[in-house]
A and B are shown apart, each in its own frame.
Chain A
Amino acid sequence: MRPATVIQSRVKRVGRQKAIGRMIETYELTKDFKGFRAVDQITFSVEPGKVFAILGPNGAGKTTTVRMLTSILKPTAGWAKVAGYDVVKQPSAVRASVGVLTEQHGLYERMRGIEYLDFFARIYHLSPENRRQRPLKLMEHFGLGDALDKRLGEYSKGMKQKLALVRAMLHDPAVLLLDEPTSAMDPQSARLVREAIKELQREERTITITTHNLTEAQSLADQIAVIRRGRIIAHGTFKELSQRFVGAPLMELHLTQQLNGAVSELGGMVEVVEQGDRWLRYRTPEPSVINPQVIRRLTGAGLEIVTLSEVSRTLEDVYLQIVQEDEGQEKNVKHNE
């Protein structure tokens, strides 16, 4: 049966009402190549309308994971479902439900932009009307309206990247798997793409991003997984990960006068990490509860506060900490062996 037919019959079967709880779900997904385990028992799930970022060093198993989710590679063990379809048993239905932006754009350089999109629109069986309108709409949206008739060989790297993204979105898939979506783009285009991802998220599309751009991942992702040597070594929201790996939020307090033993005023309430003449840094797991108490205590002691703010921690800090800890554990294991 054809994918779309499969989907339609399935939708009919569930009465077009029953929502699929998790758009991407994997359980102990494993992939072995000759004598080498590329992906090692990874388990995660992504709910509709969520952005899931997969981070990790080169060769960690990100691309292999994405290829298994697109039914290009068959898992050695474990299972995965995408849009409710099993990646092994229903590969065509899976591929009809996903849009993929591959690491390399892989365009046909001798084709024109419009021909290229029409080719993929036919493959996805878009209606003649959608085949005409959707490429125009998406190309306009990404600022490529003038390049429709140009041969792809004449496109710049950023234009090619945007066209590849248009190709992935062409059939309006339920799930988008984007590998480095803004890697070759100028800041303006990258922002356009980030906004598009947010818009897709609002429209309940489920998106998985693999990227080395941690700022982008931090700004877009609802959930983050860090993969190293094929294993998920950390998984959660940015807040959860930062709490777990770089500790409780760090607050920085500036005063008008010297501290002169004011630290003792805070004794037991917070963990003071650093301090100067007129400033100090402390950690607290619950800033909303503790900070007002700190302010009260210090002002009660006659100290005037200039600023109290959270020291921002980036995903980069968290990521590096995660990878560093994993490397440390690996060394310990090797040492013990």
Chain B
Amino acid sequence: MSSITNNIPKSLAQTPLATESARSGLRVTLSNALIITRREVRDSLRDWRIMVPIFILTLVFPQLANTMTRIFTSFFEDNEGEDLLPALLPLMPMVVGFFPISVSLVIALETFVGEKERMSLEPLLSTPLTNTELYLGKSFAAMLPPLLASYSGMAIYMTGLILGKQQWHPEPMLILQIVAVTTIQALVMVTGAVVVSSQTTSTRAANLLASFIIIPMSMLVILEGVIMVQPHKRYLLWYIVIGMMVAVVLLVRMGARIFNREELLGRSLDQLNLRWAVRMVWEQFRGPVDGGFKLGRWYRQSVFPTIRDLRSASVVLLICITAAFIGGCAAAYKWQIPLDQFEANDETLLNNLQSWFELGQNNPGLILLAALQNIRVLLAATIFAIFTFGVMNLILVSVPFGMLGFILGQVVISSISPLPFIVAVIPHSIAEVPAIVLAGAAALRLGSIITRPPDDMTVGEAWLRALGDTLKIGIGIVLPLLLIAAVLEVLVTPKVVEFVLRL
């Protein structure tokens, strides 16, 4: 019987059968990832449940779409609507391209969790492949067949359109836009689905969580459709492409960060333990306070240390706010409003301020109203932050500062003294700006922490702890500051402005 080993003693740590030369870096990573991709693609090609829909969507659906387009074209021509056709015709290639890539979601969702269910994941995880190689290999495999099907479907459909009765000759840029939008959509769906798949323990759970990808993507396709039918606004599609590219980068970063062998074999998102979640948030909200709960101690030992933790996020937010303010000022120079033509003068301003002040004096509810307005905006920004990795929060918080910059710019350009404007902003800003920065920073961390959770925490745990911190900062710092700001805004600011105007 021949030896089953290579007859080399293994007291030396070596693998004589391995031929890997001294290559390193991206080439090796890609080459290893492609080993996984080839196997997975081959597996997909052998699965009729994947191939039949792809086949139909690639070859049959474009033909049906062509027929439908022909009917619509005739309808428009019969009703003297030919002019609308150039706007409407590009819609269908987008739809024809979108359906096949939706299959990528199914493959991607199945990619890790399916293997986990079939118990074939552990042998793969026991190989020397790195986490990045596994992640990339699986992502490529989920994307390639549907994307190729999507391109084929669009090509078949557009060939029919170009050579058919419509004789449609789209601009190359339009085709490029459609292909770019379709490709980036596939990337978003696959990178998102791979993240979901790597964090769940059953295909069922992964499919349920997929709605978090399908719903926003469907809404985006509708938005793209609305833009597409307005040829002069099609440039907006490039912004969507850029936005989705950012999302892809964040999702890849998130996937690569949270993709590790331990997560794949152990942890899961699909077991929702509400009690544990509440406890986690409460623990973080309370913080490491010694002994019984006392307000002073809570601030010292829990709230203030959390402010320190928010330093990086606060810096990011401050940069955005400053940029928005400067941008607003710059915009004022570009789009000037002739303020000097308005009839308002110091006297009317004084009268208005007087009545506002009296209103505030007689109606303390106005203070609450002013505070509620800020709370509402910050709350909305926090909610948007959760769904946009913190990006929308940055925009929403920065926009008012951009507007302030714009107004100040207009005032300066119109040679009106900026002093009343400045004193109208400064008193309550002393309390309001720190509140906005801290609230925005906490929301930014809440939205972005899932892309890079700390090493010793799961995604869920990190997010719940960030939520605890957000609530802590919100209740402990932001809310009192906003109330102070509202009091200043209603009761003090008008007085200060009045004083300055009287000067």
Closest residue of B by beta carbon distance from A71: B261
User: Are A102 and B126 in contact (CB-based, < 8 A)?
Assistant: yes
Candidates B9, B118, B125; contact of A72 at CB < 8 Å: B125
CA of A189 to CA of B43, assembled, Å: 30
User: Are A106 and B39 in contact (CB-based, < 8 A)?
Assistant: no
**B residues near A7, Cβ cutoff 8 Å:** 13-15, 18
CB distance from B382 to the nearest CB of A (A): 28
User: Are A204 and B10 in contact (CB-based, < 8 A)?
Assistant: yes
A1-B24, A123-B128, A141-B2 as given contacts; A108 in contact with B19, CB under 8 Å: no
User: Are B20 and A4 in contact (CB-based, < 8 A)?
Assistant: yes
Question: Top 3 A-B pairs ranked by shortest CB distance?
Answer: A4-B20, A104-B119, A106-B120
A10-B13, A85-B13, A203-B7 given; name 9 further pairs at CB < 8 Å: A2-B23, A17-B12, A73-B261, A92-B129, A95-B128, A106-B119, A119-B35, A123-B35, A174-B12
CB distance from A237 to the nearest CB of B (A): 21
Q: Which residues of A, 1-38, contact B by the 8 Å Cβ criterion?
A: 1-5, 7-8, 10-11, 14, 16-20, 23, 33
Q: Does B184 contact A (CB under 8 A)?
A: no
**A residues near B118, Cβ cutoff 8 Å:** 106, 109
CA of A120 to CA of B125, assembled, Å: 12
Q: Does A100 contact B (CB under 8 A)?
A: yes
**A residues near B10, Cβ cutoff 8 Å:** 23, 48-49, 173-175, 203-206
Q: Does B358 contact A (CB under 8 A)?
A: no
Candidates B20, B22, B265; contact of A125 at CB < 8 Å: B20
Candidates A96, A119, A169; contact of B15 at CB < 8 Å: A96
Q: Does A45 contact B (CB under 8 A)?
A: no
Q: Does B1 contact A (CB under 8 A)?
A: yes
Candidates B13, B46, B128; contact of A20 at CB < 8 Å: B13
A95-B127, A98-B126, A173-B15 as given contacts; A72 in contact with B262, CB under 8 Å: yes
User: Are B18 and A200 in contact (CB-based, < 8 A)?
Assistant: no
User: Are B24 and A110 in contact (CB-based, < 8 A)?
Assistant: no
**A residues near B125, Cβ cutoff 8 Å:** 70, 72
Q: Does B28 contact A (CB under 8 A)?
A: yes
Where chain B touches its partner, the secondary structure class is loop
Q: Can you spell out 9 A-B residue pairs with CB atoms less than 8 angstroms apart? A: A7-B13, A23-B10, A70-B126, A96-B128, A105-B119, A124-B17, A173-B15, A203-B7, A204-B11
Candidates A83, A97, A100, A138; contact of B4 at CB < 8 Å: A138
CA of A130 to CA of B8, assembled, Å: 15
**B residues near A92, Cβ cutoff 8 Å:** 128-130
User: Are A100 and B123 in contact (CB-based, < 8 A)?
Assistant: yes
CA of A16 to CA of B419, assembled, Å: 80
Q: Does A158 contact B (CB under 8 A)?
A: no
CA of A3 to CA of B3, assembled, Å: 26
Closest residue of A by beta carbon distance from B1: A141
Q: Which residues of B, 86-133, contact A by the 8 Å Cβ criterion?
A: 115, 118-123, 125-130
**B residues near A49, Cβ cutoff 8 Å:** 10-11
User: Are B15 and A124 in contact (CB-based, < 8 A)?
Assistant: yes
Q: Does B5 contact A (CB under 8 A)?
A: yes
User: Are B4 and A199 in contact (CB-based, < 8 A)?
Assistant: yes
Q: Does A107 contact B (CB under 8 A)?
A: yes
Q: Does A320 contact B (CB under 8 A)?
A: no
**B residues near A228, Cβ cutoff 8 Å:** none
CA of A20 to CA of B120, assembled, Å: 32
A67-B265, A110-B47, A206-B10 as given contacts; A172 in contact with B20, CB under 8 Å: no
Q: Does A332 contact B (CB under 8 A)?
A: no
**B residues near A16, Cβ cutoff 8 Å:** 12, 14
User: Are A2 and B123 in contact (CB-based, < 8 A)?
Assistant: no
Bitwise interface map of B from 435 to 471 toward A, beta carbon under 8 Å scored 1, else 0: 0000000000000000000000000000000000000
User: Are A169 and B4 in contact (CB-based, < 8 A)?
Assistant: yes
**B residues near A98, Cβ cutoff 8 Å:** 126
User: Are B127 and A172 in contact (CB-based, < 8 A)?
Assistant: no
**A residues near B9, Cβ cutoff 8 Å:** 48, 203-204
User: Are B20 and A5 in contact (CB-based, < 8 A)?
Assistant: yes
Q: Does B211 contact A (CB under 8 A)?
A: no
A7-B14, A8-B14, A124-B128 as given contacts; A33 in contact with B266, CB under 8 Å: yes
CA of A106 to CA of B197, assembled, Å: 18
User: Are B12 and A20 in contact (CB-based, < 8 A)?
Assistant: yes
User: Are A84 and B23 in contact (CB-based, < 8 A)?
Assistant: no
Bitwise interface map of B from 25 to 50 toward A, beta carbon under 8 Å scored 1, else 0: 00010001001000100110011000
Q: Which residues of A, 166-186, contact B by the 8 Å Cβ criterion?
A: 167, 169, 171-175
CB distance from B459 to the nearest CB of A (A): 14
Q: Does A212 contact B (CB under 8 A)?
A: no
User: Are B14 and A11 in contact (CB-based, < 8 A)?
Assistant: yes
CA of A123 to CA of B258, assembled, Å: 23
Candidates A2, A83, A95, A109; contact of B28 at CB < 8 Å: A2
